[in-house]
Structure 1
Amino acid sequence: MREIGHFIGGEHVAGTSGRVADVFNPATGEVEAQVTLASKAELDAAIENAKAAQPAWGATNPQKRARVMMKFVDLLHRDMDKLAEALSREHGKTLPDAKGDIIRGLEVAEFCIGAPHLLKGEFTEGAGPGIDMHSVRQPLGVVAGITPFNFPAMIPMWKFCPAVACGNAFILKPSERDPSVPIMLAELMLEAGLPAGVLNVVNGDKEAVDGILDHPDIMAVGFVGSTAIAEYVYSRGCAAGKRVQCFGGAKNHMLIMPDADMDQAVDALVGAGYGAAGERCMAVSVAVPVGEGTADKLMEKLTPRVENLKIAPYTAGNDADFGPLVTRDAYARVKGYVDKGVEEGATLAVDGRNFSMQGYENGFFIGACLFDNVTRDMTIYKEEIFGPVLSVVRAKTYEEGLDLAMSHEYGNGVAIFTRDGDTARDFAARINIGMVGVNVPIPVPLAYYTFGGWKRSGFGDLNQHGPDAFRFYTRTKTITSRWPSGIKEGAEFVIPTMN
């Protein structure tokens, strides 16, 4: 049995806690490895290691730090196939989707090559008589990231790339469900020239999470996961005096207006609703056709497309549309939601609950499911399912469709499909959701913008990647200087002004 430990101080470290978790191959249902779960003592040792390594790294000039990121990007390209295979084996997503996971993280690493510019402060000469003023951005010290199973490459890189580029040392606590790729990324960072100890990977469960949140030397924490845990991490981390950013669940709506290109809308729903088996926080899980005619036309075109989706293990290569869910518990949860939808009166137009694949009967596969006539009081509408389940909620008018998205507790992403510029502009201006797509079903911003939801999808003032990441992982120091020739004799008993 393959054992997965930790990566601390530039070395693989075996766990000593005596606690382990199984790592499955979701396609076969077989345990393919065991990952050790860190004790508080092991976590503390990793933090001490990072604390020792950070000062020298923080004092390294930004250009040299940027060169490490440049080399890291090269290594990601070199090892793309190797990383994607490892990711698919433990997560279950298709190889093309796994490569997309890596590339979206790689793009943030590319953005971080601009650290010398992004870390520049401001300067004012002659702010007062003989007085100059300037500001600098300085690293926080040791920071941490707690990342989810659904993007084991992308989200760790969204966290550690800007943090390290800013001069911090980083503790990464990835998901214990698919832990191999985060360690492989840390190995590549070391190969790229990052000093040992600046990036450490500590595998664990709630004990490690609480240890990170409570440790006085951790200055900031970033988290991605469910809303319930996001709230917990945010509250506990803030109470400990840390800077915290947390991103939680989602229920992303897509409005389809009567004038929309229906073929484009159906293509968008199929890809955004069922890609990665729906295990994306930006997946479209609610389609909102406006008008009965629009809804009927949508269902007529959408139903056969969903029925004919190809479900297969990642080894099928480009022939699979999506693969299994990540664990047996995830399968049971998603199936339970489908059962609940039927029980509450939604029309199950496509039922994937009985899907089975010859040779992979023990895998965590569930077929694509499509509900029609879903209402806002149903559980499948209110809660995040995180599986290949799309709900169609029929709206009589544009205002009703807009209200559906605006009234939902989650505010991660939203989209509208229309040919009308006035409608699109009104939608983008009024919607109370963090990321908006106009004829774009998954509006994940590129690396030089920031990613973050509103309402109960996001906690904290600063978002992931883009300029916000450099603000989150640094603090601003402002220096006011005056030299002897500009200093008047005598004591001053008032606050100095620039008068």
Structure 2
Amino acid sequence: PVMVPLWMFPNAVACGNTFILKPSERDPSAPGFVVELAQEAGFPPGVVNLVNGDKVAVDRLLEHPDVAAVSFVGSTPIARYVYSTGTAHGKRVQALGGAKNHMIVLPDADLDLAADAAVSAAYGSAGERCMAISVVVAVGDIADDLVERIRVRMDKLVIGPGDDPTSEMGPLITREHRDRVAGYIGSGADEGATVVVDGREQVFDGDGHFLGVSLLDDVTTDMQVYRDEIFGPVLSVVRRDNYHEAVQMIADNPYGNGAAIFTRDGGAARRFQQDAEAGMVGINVPIPVPVGYHSFGGWNDSLFGDTTMYGPEGLRFYTRPKVVTSRWPDPSTSSVDLGFPQND
């Protein structure tokens, strides 16, 4: 709710635009605070604006003739809707959708490093982020060892209120979403997955839509827990015999946001850079979010539009090119010339 608007409005304003922020109605307080800080910092009235609301507010912005461009981050169905509706009204649109990010672990990888990365990337922010790792692809005979190392680390996670400094993971956004995420654990078990850790069994004191972290092994690509973007603290482990089968999973998946590989083999890493069908690729980095002088965005159903967020593409999105051609000739050399202009 804070990071994503900061991908947008600083670049938009720096490029000479005014900006309207319409936050999610599920978490409007943090974006509102950011806009308050912008006002306190001295932004002129009307430059950075806040509009709260639901789909009605979204549609008015997508249709309004004074809105020239729209940036969006959210689920794939809504991203597709924002893109199609905005472009139908003549607007430039960049709409980032959902993800199903895979992390391949090769047999030569440092398994402790990979297990640390899997736990951090899967359960940080309660899995409610588009760059979360939701699938670990264990290649070869390492799967049992890797799953056990992940399980041991999960036991040590501290889940509690976000205002508690000792908490490492907080609650989910709503009761309905928590129940939806919990449902995937049961559906995975029903379809044949092995529930190594069941987050539904953890009990929490006090209020909050808490759900413990879950780990499912023996997941296959036809299971709902694999196909859907869960957006919660559920990590699936899929077993594959070799690198080629693992990387093909990424290519076959409809999303293409991020992908990572853990290996000590430089040749495999270089090959993965070319083979991975994703917009952001990590080598021994589970969440390959680009630094600010590159741009953020995926492929396939993870991105609708021609430009990604922030970095050079973000600046191009908030500007329009203009080409100026000028000459300052000596009037005495002027003559009629019906040919094409040339650079002499």
Q: TM-score range by the shorter chain?
A: over 0.9
Deviates more, 1:298-307 or 1:171-180: 298-307
Partner of 2:133: 284
Partner of 2:31: 182
Partner of 1:235: 84
Q: CA deviation at 1:483?
A: 3.7
Q: Which of 156, 159, 162 is the equivalent residue of 1:308?
A: 156
Q: Which of 197, 212, 219 is the equivalent residue of 1:367?
A: 212
1:434 and 2:279 are equivalent in the alignment? yes
The amino acid of 1:455's aligned partner reads N
CA distance in structure 1 between the aligned counterparts of 2:85 and 2:17, rounded to whole angstroms: 22
Partner of 1:391: 236
| SS of alignment partner, residue 477 of structure 1 | coil
1:342 and 2:176 are equivalent in the alignment? no
Deviates more, 1:332-341 or 1:205-214: 332-341
- Are the counterparts in 2 of residues 463 and 469 from structure 1 also a CA contact under 8 Å? yes
Alignment of 1:395-406 (within 5 A): 395-406=240-251
1:297 and 2:172 are equivalent in the alignment? no
Partner of 1:482: 327
1:329 and 2:184 are equivalent in the alignment? no
1:358 and 2:218 are equivalent in the alignment? no
Q: CA deviation at 1:386?
A: 0.3
Partner of 1:264: 113
1:202 and 2:51 are equivalent in the alignment? yes
CA distance in structure 1 between the aligned counterparts of 2:257 and 2:198, rounded to whole angstroms: 27
Q: CA deviation at 1:481?
A: 1.5
Structure with the larger strand share: 1
Q: CA deviation at 1:484?
A: 5.7
Count of aligned positions: 343
- Are the counterparts in 2 of residues 307 and 350 from structure 1 also a CA contact under 8 Å? no
| SS of alignment partner, residue 324 of structure 2 | strand
The amino acid of 2:70's aligned partner reads V
CA distance in structure 1 between the aligned counterparts of 2:334 and 2:123, rounded to whole angstroms: 71
Deviation >6 Å, runs of 4+: none
TM-score, normalised to structure 2, is 0.96
User: 1:402-445 CA deviation, whole Å, 9 max, x = no partner?
Assistant: 11112111000011000010000000122111101101111101
CA distance in structure 2 between the aligned counterparts of 1:303 and 1:479, rounded to whole angstroms: 62
Structure 2 residue runs of 5 or longer lacking an equivalent are: none
Q: CA deviation at 1:493?
A: 4.9
Partner of 2:314: 469
Q: CA deviation at 1:374?
A: 0.3
CA distance in structure 1 between the aligned counterparts of 2:61 and 2:340, rounded to whole angstroms: 41
TM-score, normalised to structure 1, is 0.67
- Are the counterparts in 2 of residues 342 and 348 from structure 1 also a CA contact under 8 Å? yes
User: 1:287-316 CA deviation, whole Å, 9 max, x = no partner?
Assistant: 00101x210110121122223322111232
Q: CA deviation at 1:333?
A: 1.1
1:418 and 2:263 are equivalent in the alignment? yes
CA distance in structure 2 between the aligned counterparts of 1:185 and 1:233, rounded to whole angstroms: 24
| SS of alignment partner, residue 235 of structure 1 | helix
The amino acid of 1:158's aligned partner reads W
| SS of alignment partner, residue 442 of structure 1 | coil
1:191 and 2:36 are equivalent in the alignment? no
CA distance in structure 2 between the aligned counterparts of 1:310 and 1:402, rounded to whole angstroms: 33
CA distance in structure 2 between the aligned counterparts of 1:185 and 1:325, rounded to whole angstroms: 22
Q: CA deviation at 1:471?
A: 0.7
User: 1:163-193 CA deviation, whole Å, 9 max, x = no partner?
Assistant: 0011100011011111122222122222222
- Are the counterparts in 2 of residues 355 and 365 from structure 1 also a CA contact under 8 Å? no
